[in-house]
Amino acid sequence: MKASRLTPKCLALPRSSSSLGGGLGYDMIWRDMKFILYSDDKVVDTRCLGILRSCNATQRLQIETGLNESIALAAHAKAHILRWGNESAIYRKYFGHSPSIEAIGAYDIVVNGDRGGVLFRCDNPDGNCQLNGWGGHWRGENATDETVICDLSYTLRRSLSTLCSMGYTVSGSKTNTFWAADLLHRLYHMPAFGQGRVEHFADDYDGVRKLTIGNRSVSTRDSNTLQYFALEAYAFDLVVPGVGCSGDHDEGHDDNELPYP
């Protein structure tokens, strides 16, 4: 009897690594995710993220780039927690003294998890893209592994390379300013990533901060908290090292935070 061979997940080998400095003591691995372009709704390879042909070339490029930035954002958030744990003031700001294992897992599944046949599409099968202000949506019971990206996203979303610029602050701006956080949120809706565990318990920055103080047991699996933490850690560690761009929105909160290591 021949031993079975496991087919590798649909991730390319790391393209490059770069030292981040700032005392983190690790190298960031930038991964290139592979994609399959489907001509219809049939998902034939559960190892890869699929993009339907309803997405044109420019839409596809933005989705691919955004998903790779989502991986970079999640990878850094995980690495920050592994290095500092709840000794990090940023960790305690968003997760309190909660054990770090759940938050680490929520980020790791985005970086290393199987793709589970997840599919992105750019048509409007459910009609929701006609609703005012909708940049996309999870299809829910209609198709649990599918997410629609509406036209509005392609004019509003920014690259993670513009974090902390053009007036952006973590506390004063929306998480979905960036493809990286927007698609992270959309991945968590789908069973392959969120597993029905990551949910919406808070709606905005103020809600996230109140959640941290009042119900820390769910903060490590709140979709918005995971996004805000990832953005703030990325900004503080990488974009403007030691400073970040949290904004002054959180003045007056008594978080009993430790100084940043």
Q: Does residue 205 lie within any of the structural domains?
A: yes
Q: Which of 50, 183, 67 is nearest to 120 (CA)?
A: 50
3-state DSSP assignment of residue 52 = strand
pLDDT tens digits along 190-208: 999 999 999 999 999 999 9
Q: Given its phi and psi angles, is residue 30 left (phi above 0), alpha (psi -120 to 50 degrees) or beta?
A: beta
Identify the sign of the CA torsion 115, 184, 50, 71.
negative
What residues form DSSP beta bridges with 128?
none
List, for residues 51-103, the tens digit of each pLDDT value.
Answer: 888 899 999 999 999 999 999 999 999 999 999 998 999 999 999 999 999 99
Q: Is 105 a member of any domain?
A: yes
Asked if the structure places residue 93 within a domain, the reply is yes
Q: What percentage of the chain carries pLDDT values higher than 70?
A: 75
| Contacting residues for 172 by C-beta, under 8 A, at least 6 apart | 205, 247, 249
C-alpha angle 229/26/169, rounded to 5°? 30
User: pTM surpassing 0.85?
Assistant: no
Q: What is the CATH number of the domain that holds 123?
A: 3.40.390.10
Question: Which whole number is the average pLDDT over 122-132?
Answer: 94
With b for 16 or more beta-carbon neighbours within 10 A and e for fewer, the 146-167 pattern comes to bbbbbeebbeebbebeebbeee
Q: Does 10 fall in a domain?
A: no
